[in-house]
């Protein structure tokens, strides 16, 4: 078994130092928002986004005027992509059924899927206007039936981006704020004098947004840790260096700290792809960003076998995993830790990011080991219920409950059961004693 790293990124210890500095900055800013509310949010918006206005919420007239600036062809494309996201989210929602069952006569058990009552959607947009993130968070929340959907997006070049605002509005947001970064996430979660706090935060973002969500988790729910984008290409000699290099750099341009990994069993494909990346970086308009990500976070790993590639891929648990091999479905059947799979050379991560319909808010930093990405189910809470409809069932279940509670030493619990055995079963159980087995005939 041989696994060779032709290129490695920053050491884990160095990345941990970066994370610690980010965490300290975020904690200080969140404390300021909690203490000073709107005043802190205003100061932070001016400091980080150079955006100053009395209220950061857009009113209906502003929204209409901003959307009117969107080219009709662009608006049609936005609607096409959003419809694909809605269709897939609706199919997912339709798979989630309320249930009710009667495991024994007179005992009814069930669960209901209830929408979260308010959600704050973060739509990134300071560096690039992330139109698609509005579909993924806002439109999906709308399909789930969330009654209050608010969205925050930063200004782009000093003003609200028309395409982003259009996508947020068409997605179904009830409140739109032109706020970015930690101040946006903090205001939605903690609340201010003018912004009521939400129950759930969703949406991707940079390292500071992801860390803010992590620190706020518990006070509010979050979808997942969706930090700087990650991509992995799993490839063999069925594809060439051009497509591998193009797909790696397509995600590296997201930011300066976007991990991108080529995992292959072909040393030739590995070295050719590295050379092709160097060539493309000389002509890519976003090379200033992509080059830093590739130099600091890029990796090229060569394995001997497909089984080794599978093992390494599951260990890395990358956000986006593009598989281009002679056995793509084998990886689909066997991979267990990832954000989303993109199978075959005909598709690519950009399709998933922008238009195809699956959600692009996905787990990063190995969170794919324990969670999938954002989907309509994240906006729903599954709550169970029970009821007993007959005296016989109340006495029967109560007798079992009495004895099992006392087995654990809970007398007060047992008496909750015993009082039902006495009232509905007509059996005089002494206080704090176990109900007799005769009071609980097997159904």
Question: Which residues are known catalytic residues?
Answer: 319-320
Tally Cβ neighbours within 10 Å of residue 268: 11
Q: Has 413 been labeled as part of a binding site?
A: yes
Q: Does the annotation list 383 as a binding residue?
A: no
Is residue 167 within 8 A of residue 84, CB to CB? The reply is: no
Question: C-alpha distances in angstroms, 153 versus 57, 58, 156, 430?
Answer: 11, 11, 9, 64
For the sheet with 340-343, list strands across it: 3-7, 298-303, 260-264, 231-235, 320-324, 340-343
Q: Is 206 annotated as a binding residue?
A: yes
DSSP state of 434: P
Would strands 107-115 and 380-388 be described as parallel, antiparallel, or unpaired? antiparallel
Largest CA distance in the chain: 87
Contacts of 424 (CB under 8 A, 6+ apart): 391, 392, 394, 395, 398
DSSP-assigned beta bridge partners for residue 38 = none
Residue 229, annotated ligand binder? yes
List all residues 6 or more positions away from 26 whose beta carbon is below 8 Å from its beta carbon: 182, 208, 211, 212, 215
Task: Measure the CA–CA gap between 341 and 189, rounded to whole angstroms.
Answer: 31
Ligand-binding site membership of 122 (annotated): yes
Is 320 part of any known ligand binding site?
A: yes
Residue ranges of the annotated binding site for Zn(2+) are: 251, 254, 353, 413
Residue ranges of the annotated binding site for NAD(+) are: 122, 183, 206
Residue ranges of the annotated binding site are: 122, 183, 206, 229, 251, 254, 320, 353, 408, 413
Residue ranges of the annotated binding site for substrate are: 229, 251, 254, 320, 353, 408, 413
């Amino acid at each position: 078994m041989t696994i060779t790293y032709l290129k490695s990124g920053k050491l884990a210890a160095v990345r941990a130092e970066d994370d610690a500095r980010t965490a300290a900055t975020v904690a200080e800013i969140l404390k300021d928002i909690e203490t000073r509310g709107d005043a802190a949010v205003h100061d932070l918006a001016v400091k980080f986004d150079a955006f100053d206005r009395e209220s950061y919420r857009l009113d209906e007239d502003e929204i209409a005027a901003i959307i009117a600036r969107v080219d009709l062809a662009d608006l049609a494309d936005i609607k096409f992509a959003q419809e694909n996201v809605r269709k897939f989210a609706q199919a997912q929602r339709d798979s989630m059924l309320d249930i009710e069952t009667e495991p024994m006569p007179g005992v009814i058990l069930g669960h209901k899927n209830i929408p979260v009552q308010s959600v704050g959607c973060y739509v990134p947009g300071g560096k690039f206007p992330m139109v698609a993130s509005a579909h993924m968070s806002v439109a999906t929340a709308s399909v789930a039936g969330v009654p209050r959907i608010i969205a925050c997006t930063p200004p782009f070049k000093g003003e609200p981006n028309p395409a982003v605002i259009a996508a947020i509005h068409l997605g179904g947001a009830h409140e739109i704020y032109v706020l970015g970064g930690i101040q946006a996430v903090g205001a939605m979660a903690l609340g201010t004098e003018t912004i009521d706090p939400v129950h759930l935060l969703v949406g991707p973002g940079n390292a500071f947004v992801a860390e803010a969500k992590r620190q706020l988790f518990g006070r509010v729910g979050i979808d997942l840790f969706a930090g700087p984008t990650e991509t992995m290409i799993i490839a063999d000699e069925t594809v060439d260096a051009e497509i591998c290099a193009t797909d790696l750099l397509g995600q590296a341009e997201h930011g300066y700290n976007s991990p991108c990994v080529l995992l292959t069993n072909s040393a030739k494909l590995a070295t050719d792809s590295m050379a092709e990346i160097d060539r493309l970086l000389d002509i890519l308009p976003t090379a200033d960003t992509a080059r830093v990500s590739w130099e600091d976070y890029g990796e090229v790993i060569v394995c001997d076998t497909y089984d080794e590639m599978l093992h390494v891929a599951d260990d890395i648990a990358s956000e986006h995993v593009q598989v281009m091999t002679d056995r793509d479905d084998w990886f689909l059947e066997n991979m267990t830790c990832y954000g989303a799979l993109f199978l075959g050379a005909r598709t690519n991560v950009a399709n998933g990011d922008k238009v195809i319909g699956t959600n692009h808010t996905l787990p990063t930093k190995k969170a794919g080991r324990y969670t999938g990405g954002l989907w309509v189910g994240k906006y729903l809470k599954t709550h169970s219920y029970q009821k007993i409809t007959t005296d016989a069932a109340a006495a029967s279940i109560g007798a079992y409950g009495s004895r099992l509670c006392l087995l654990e030493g809970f007398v007060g619990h047992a008496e909750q059961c015993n009082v039902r055995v006495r009232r509905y079963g007509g059996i005089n159980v002494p206080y704090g004693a176990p109900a007799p087995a005769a009071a609980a005939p097997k159904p």
